[in-house]
Chains A and B, each alone.
Chain A
């Protein structure tokens, strides 16, 4: 994991255009409003139990254009998307959405946890995010539940044609 906390910042690392790249994306528009008050970090439930995850720091790194450092960092994936930071930000930055934008950008460089690949694969194959075991489906009847509606993976795949993320998903049999 890249050490995001202690390494000193070199001017050569900074990409001044990075903040504009983020600001153009849905949810990242208000990045530049952040004045580093720290409400996000102090209210963040994850920051309380993590030694490395600090939303304020991630926002600052994004503003400074420390692109590689922020996108390579595993810490970026710790946000639980509880949206407390978004609701409480006095500058209306939509912190959780900026972090989501950063994650989406990290994906373009191939950085993301395996769990997302598994879920996307399941969705493409069944429509559902999990592989629901046959036994579970049978058990529904015994529990008095109606049969689980069958997904339409073919239709789902058609609508997702052209989505960039899918290039990271291996097709069945490949």
Chain B
């Protein structure tokens, strides 16, 4: 029997275009004793619409929490945006009775009620707090000592601290520690905690791509062989746009962007194909060859 059981909240971006993250995360979590139950009838977490309607965000998030409460299970998300929103709204509604009543009036229309009885956690928080570092280290059969990578946390796993609170936004440690658990070296670089720019896509692509380029430049300087992300939007921003950025600004990177569970899966001895490496836009064969060669 699995030791930890969660409702899987996929959000929208992952089923829309980031399947490698989902595939690798499911594989890794299974091996680490985390059971995932699919979450029926969930909806967008609400975050994308906060800029236009705070109320709509609150209702959408609360509807998801109310659905999870009916199942009696805590939520796990792979997207920091979803995790952050569900955490934030959970806290707000628990602490503000009047707001809770207002939102519950909306939920009642669909026969739902927010009670505040479940938690929402991001994958990294589950790995850190439930699975634990020792278990993760113990699952590594093929230490990736030959790899030097750069981490990219993304914003919503860190900020605002008031609502997320499990890592230090100014000096985050979780992802770094988890990367080092695979045996790979996690390099320090300039502006590590900076935004990828994804939320500005559609409003100003120019600003968004310049932000992404800035980050790629910083990790190129330290000779990182890959960037490790834990957010579908950050991943899209770098993996999908890397070629575009290279052309636009006349740069050359060739840096593959991996989802953290892909890196962990490799260290657990899983096959790159099973971890959906072929779904990545930026070819990762260079680092995969390096991992294979070291076995010989």
Task: Give chain A's interface residues, CB within 8 Å of chain B.
Answer: 25-27, 45-46, 48-50, 53, 77-84, 86-87, 94, 96, 100-101, 103-104, 107, 112-113, 115-116, 119-120, 123, 127-130, 132, 136-137, 139-140, 143-146, 148-152, 155-156, 158-166
Contacts and interface: CB of A to CB of B under 8 A. Distances in A.
A130 B106 CA distance: 23
A83 B55 CA distance: 19
Contact of A136 (B15, B59, B112, B200): B15
Interface string B195-207: 1011110111011
Nearest to A113: B203
Contacts, number: 185
B106 A162 contact: yes
Interface in B75-114: 99, 106-107, 109-112
Question: Interface residues of B toward A: which range?
Answer: 35 or more
B215 to A, nearest CB: 10
Contacts of B44: 119, 123, 127-129
Interface in B37-80: 38-44, 48-56, 59-60, 63
A49 B106 contact: no
B56 A120 contact: yes
B268 to A, nearest CB: 17
B19 A145 contact: yes
A84 B48 CA distance: 18
A99 to B, nearest CB: 9
Interface stretch (B118-126, B153-161, B176-184, B219-227): B153-161
Nearest to B55: A163
Contacts of A49: 206-207, 210-211, 214
Contact of A82 (B22, B107, B159): B159
A87 B160 contact: yes
Contact of B60 (A45, A82, A123): A123
B276 interface: yes
B188 interface: no
B56 A165 contact: yes
A33 B206 CA distance: 33
B160 A132 contact: no
